[in-house]
């Protein structure tokens, strides 16, 4: 794999997506304050991505306290930030080439928990080079989080990023594991430690505002058919929000598409003990002598 051309158009678009994303993440994080609307921050960030020349790779995730992933505001959401632990998880694509990043904005006074995931990410990135086992990266994450007296969330992982694929191989565990795979030059991976003051596992809640296409199919209902056309044209296989659909009664349309096996939903994931979760994430390209972080602030 040493002959991979890291200057090719594919990697340049990954870098462009990362540069846009770093700016939007930092600007969006500054907008997270007590009393500010979740929906306002999400829509601002998604619009800003488009202004800078990218497209959202998935709906902006705004996870609060025990929520770990897949939470995004509904179209009529009137939630505002309180004294919360807030995780912003944002993605950008340029022609289907992706970058993924996350940051915790702590309004709750638990700065040590936020620091644990951030320092774990730094330690993980330092281990990245061709040939390193993903289990070694997980061990570096686990060691830092354990050192703070917290637990990594063990059933969430980092992941590879493909063309129009938000989650692909390899998985990057958040703890030491014996069975893993070796990174290669040219791999594009998102590393995302989650730290919690709970037991370290998440499970699915009831809320579901994010969906993705499974397969195209014949749809009789007019609204559902229009929704499917927009999904295929605009989002392809990437996740999208209910609030992004330009159809009447989008929730009803999605229920029909889900019932037919055309789309699947992403339930909000919550820490099983109801405890706080922090998150930090960067996207990296594996290079000959280590890695390049595409989502680091310029």
Answer yes or no: is 106 a known binding residue: no
- 241: enclosing H helix or E strand: strand 240-241
Domains, the chain: 9-205+274-293 (3.90.230.10), 210-266 (1.10.10.10)
Angle between helices 111-127 and 134-147 (to 10 degrees): 150
Cβ proximity of 37 and 19 under 8 Å: no
Query: Tokens in use for 116?
Result: 């644990």
pLDDT at 3: 77
DSSP 84-126: -EEEEEEEEEETTEEEEEEEEEE-SS-HHHHHHHHHHHHHHHH
Is residue 5 among the annotated active site residues?
no
> Tokens 């998604």 appear where?
46
- Structure pTM? 0.95
Answer yes or no: is 192 a known binding residue: yes
What Cα–Cα distance (Å) separates residue 249 from each residue in 39, 222, 246, 282? 19, 11, 9, 36
Is residue 165 among the annotated active site residues?
no
19, 66, 84, 89: which one is catalytic? 89
Is residue 281 among the annotated active site residues?
yes
Answer yes or no: is 273 a known binding residue: no
pLDDT tens string, the chain, 298 residues long: the values are 457 999 999 999 999 999 999 999 999 999 999 999 999 999 999 999 999 999 999 999 999 999 999 999 999 999 999 999 999 999 999 999 999 999 999 999 999 999 999 999 999 999 999 999 999 999 999 999 999 999 999 999 999 999 999 999 999 999 999 888 999 999 999 999 999 999 999 999 989 999 999 999 999 999 999 999 999 999 999 999 999 999 999 999 999 999 999 999 999 999 999 999 999 999 999 999 999 999 999 8
110, 163, 167, 264: which one is catalytic? 167
Spell out the alpha helix ranges (H) of the chain.
9-31, 38-51, 111-127, 134-147, 222-230, 250-259
Is residue 100 among the annotated active site residues?
yes
pLDDT at 1: 43
Answer yes or no: is 100 a known binding residue: yes
Answer yes or no: is 264 a known binding residue: no
Q: How many CA atoms lie within 13 A of 185 on its CB side?
A: 10
Is residue 167 among the annotated active site residues?
yes
Answer yes or no: is 30 a known binding residue: no
159, 197, 209, 271: which one is catalytic? 159
Is residue 93 among the annotated active site residues?
no
pLDDT at 2: 53
pLDDT at 178: 87
100, 119, 209, 271: which one is catalytic? 100
Cβ proximity of 157 and 259 under 8 Å: no
Answer yes or no: is 38 a known binding residue: no
């Amino acid at each position: 794999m040493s002959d991979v051309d890291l200057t090719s158009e594919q990697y340049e678009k990954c870098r462009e997506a990362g540069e846009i994303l770093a700016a939007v993440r930092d600007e969006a994080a500054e907008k997270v304050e007590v009393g500010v609307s979740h929906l306002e921050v999400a829509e601002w960030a998604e619009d800003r991505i488009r202004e800078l020349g990218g497209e959202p790779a998935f709906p902006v995730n705004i996870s609060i306290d025990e929520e770990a992933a897949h939470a995004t505001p509904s179209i009529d959401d009137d939630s505002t930030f309180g004294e919360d632990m807030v995780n912003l998880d944002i993605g950008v694509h340029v022609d289907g080439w992706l970058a993924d990043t996350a940051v915790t904005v702590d309004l709750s006074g638990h700065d040590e928990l936020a620091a644990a995931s951030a320092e774990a990410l730094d330690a993980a990135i330092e281990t990245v080079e061709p040939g390193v086992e993903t289990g070694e990266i997980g061990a570096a994450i686990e060691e830092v989080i354990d050192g703070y007296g917290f637990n990594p969330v063990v059933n969430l992982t980092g992941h590879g990023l493909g063309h129009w694929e938000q989650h692909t191989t390899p998985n990057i565990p958040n703890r030491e594991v014996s069975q893993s795979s070796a990174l290669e030059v040219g791999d594009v991976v998102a590393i995302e430690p989650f730290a919690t003051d709970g037991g370290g596992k998440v499970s699915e809640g009831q809320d579901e505002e994010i969906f993705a296409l499974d397969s195209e199919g014949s749809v009789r209902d007019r609204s559902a058919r229009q929704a499917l056309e927009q999904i295929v044209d605009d989002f392809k296989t990437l996740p999208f929000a209910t609030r992004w659909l330009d159809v009447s009664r989008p929730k009803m349309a999605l229920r029909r598409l889900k019932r037919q096996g055309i789309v699947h939903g992403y339930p909000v994931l919550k820490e099983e003990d109801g405890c706080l979760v922090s998150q930090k994430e960067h996207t990296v390209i594996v290079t000959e002598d280590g890695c390049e972080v595409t989502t680091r602030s310029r």
